[in-house]
Structure 1
């Protein structure tokens, strides 16, 4: 058995699935599609979760959603995250996944903090209605059966006055989940400030099933610190890998007890950018693929000396040839900007009041699904 030097971490076990290192790629809308997952897998091992899939869109066989649950032939295990608020619809979606062999692992989303979701009572608002949460998780585990592990991803709660993570974690464990992942922020926190790792430690101490920690893992050494400080069984990485798929190589090295870390210069980064755009082009067609790649440009170039005009041009590239020409104009001999190590990436939305359905905070004991909370499109 592989044990990380100085940390004592074991491989992550989710039913029949074993993952080393104990690292999970967090589902991110518009990001964790097959090309990005492949790029990350080319750099390191772990469990790579697809974009969020809504249960109603899946059972209604929405064309976009069905495309999103397609995996590369060599992608194993196949991991899908489901969003749902109605136990019956969630159960039907899980049965469909099992019957049609669509995935090997199912994660349930109870962590989304965006207003369009919480104002309907979904995402990180839903565990407050704990009887409904129990019905959804119990139904999913039952329909998944013994061969498809079900996990839950959630936040601390709605806000500091309405925390749900310990109760929800215990309910999920009793329902039979294989693991619980906790983002150390509330819905009100969005992506602001510093993640509360002490909450991850509190949940790890309260549960017997593995607890995975999420929040502020910008470098591989952050993952080791989280495990050491909280006793969690592994980590979930989201924004830290934006424009840095080689972070998974660093994570593998760190959990193996090795000290090397990837610090690619701009020449190597440009090569990864080209590879990413190529994979997207193969997946979506060249025009759509390169257009989709544009959102990644600023993340890849963060900290490098690249002029504003060039950045804008790269962000408007329409084809691989144009992208190649623009990448060729860069000063490719630049070393990796060490000033960017440990610096937050991606969204940094500040604290805000959580949008909730009328009377939501007075309805904790209600077991009914909130009206209109189902989403009919996938991806967040």
Structure 2
């Protein structure tokens, strides 16, 4: 499937993206190193990992490091997580006043239990007044910097919130809305419900709607836009170990059918480049090597790399050791096809969403909810 090269650019406030593709914020993944690597292969909007508003307001060392962008990142995009309108507003005010972001996104889609059990992430839109207050405060504080939201369909099939939340966000003045077409209870399991993206697009017509869920290839992205009418796609797990997916996406949206099918040597080179960028980001070779270990299975998915070599890569301690291990691979081995494609990352299984006690009894915030919310921003990164 291909689109003509005249694909309409994606406009998010004053920003214009020739390629309507957004890198989804992923905790522990979408740091500046990974964003830079993806950008080297393609085009789009590359969003930071989720950063807690309170930690940012308190200027913790880790949060300040996470909001840094490399000079090559020409659109600086930051995602915030928060449960208190004032704190979120203060975080946005700081980013704008200190010229640290060109785009800000708010996370209302995280399904991780440590977040939802405190009333945050995908659980928060259930409290419609709180959701509205947070978004309105953030939009006011953002000024000319476009502010968007990312959310899920709801808590579970019996507690859907996305349409009501989208209308509130539209009324508050957000520049775009992204929908991961699963509920929190779905986690990452099963198949994303793209029909919900269609419904949202038909409901909200004056700002861009972005679709998220099960974008494993450029064809998936084109098919989602064709089937749902959405204005752009958000790519998450599909690019894990495959930063060149953004090259495929750029080609597809330009009407070209060329796809990147890297040899094992090219994968090894990208893997090493990732480790180099992580070293620069962490300012520590040892920490970078610890971090790159979690990417081993994703990069070499489908390639004939033996278990012993994979295990050694997952224990690497230096760039020199990494280079030695990668040099033992047969770099001429071709792209393995289907074995290297498709789903990646942990899908999990549907599960009951962890929520604060009595959370579902009222759509509005009541006194007993507030204690949970005061504990809802305990980490630098909410994911």
What TM-score range do you get, normalising by the shorter chain?
A: over 0.9
1:230 counterpart residue number: 228
Is the 2:109–2:151 contact (alpha carbons within 8 Å) kept by the matching residues of 1? yes
Matched residue, 2:23 = 25
Partner SS for 1:158: strand
Say if 2:207 is the partner of 1:205: no
Task: State the partner residue of 2:363.
Answer: 364
- Match of 2:178, SS? strand
Q: Is the 8 A contact 1:121 1:370 kept in 2?
A: no
Q: Distance in 2 between matches of 1:8 and 1:151?
A: 25
Q: What's the CA shift string for 1:99-123, capped at 9, x where partnerless?
A: 1111111100000001111111110
SS at match of 1:325: helix
Partner residue in 2 for 1:163: 160
What per-residue deviation string (whole Å, max 9, x for no partner) do you get for residues 161-191 of structure 1? 0001111111100100000000010000000
Give distance in 1, aligned partners of 2:366 and 2:227. 36
Q: How many residues align?
A: 376
Alpha-carbon deviation of 1:367?
A: 7.4
* Cα shift at 1:6: 4.6
Which residue, out of 68, 79, 82, partners 2:80?
82
| Alignment match, 1:70 | 68
Trace 1:1-380 onto structure 2 (pairs within 5 A): 5-6=3-4, 9-145=7-143, 147-208=144-205, 209-284=207-282, 285-340=284-339, 342-366=341-365, 370-373=370-373, 374-379=376-381, 380=383
> Does structure 1 retain, via aligned residues, the 8 Å contact 2:4–2:253?
no
Deviation at 1:5, TM superposition (A): 2.9
Give the Cα–Cα distance (whole angstroms) in 1 for the partners of residues 292 and 253 of structure 2: 30
SS across alignment from 1:372: helix
3-state secondary structure, aligned to 1:186: coil
TM-score (norm. length: structure 1) = 0.96
- Equivalents in 2 of 1:257, 1:26: separation in Å? 23
Q: Contact between 2:155 and 2:185, CA under 8 Å: does it hold in 1?
A: yes
Structure 2 regions of 5+ residues with no counterpart?
none
Q: CA RMSD in A?
A: 1.4
**Deviation string for 1:18-57 (max 9, x for gaps)?**
1120100001111101110000000011000011110000
Give the distance between the partners of 2:225 and 2:370, measured in 1 at CA: 36
- The whole-number CA distance in structure 1 between the counterparts of 2:133 and 2:149 is 13
Give, in whole Å, the separation in 2 of the partners of 1:262 and 1:83. 34
Q: In structure 1, how many angstroms separate the alpha carbons of the residues matched to 2:366 and 2:68? A: 33
Aligned to 1:168, the other structure's residue is in SS state: helix
Would the aligned equivalents of 1:120 and 1:370 in 2 still touch at CA under 8 Å?
no
Q: Distance in 2 between matches of 1:135 and 1:149?
A: 17
1:68-97 deviations in Å (ceiling 9; x for gaps): 000001212100000000001111111111
- Structure 1 residue 365, shift from structure 2 partner: 2.6
1:24 partner SS: strand
CA distance in 2, matches of 1:280, 1:262: 23
Q: Distance in 2 between matches of 1:223 and 1:131?
A: 34
Secondary structure in 1 matching 2:79? strand
The answer to whether the Cα contact below 8 Å between 1:9 and 1:233 also exists between their aligned partners in 2 is no
The SS at the match of 2:80 is strand
Task: Encode CA deviations 1:284-312: one digit per residue, 9 max, x unaligned.
Answer: 22111111111111110000111111100
1:337 Cα shift?
1.6
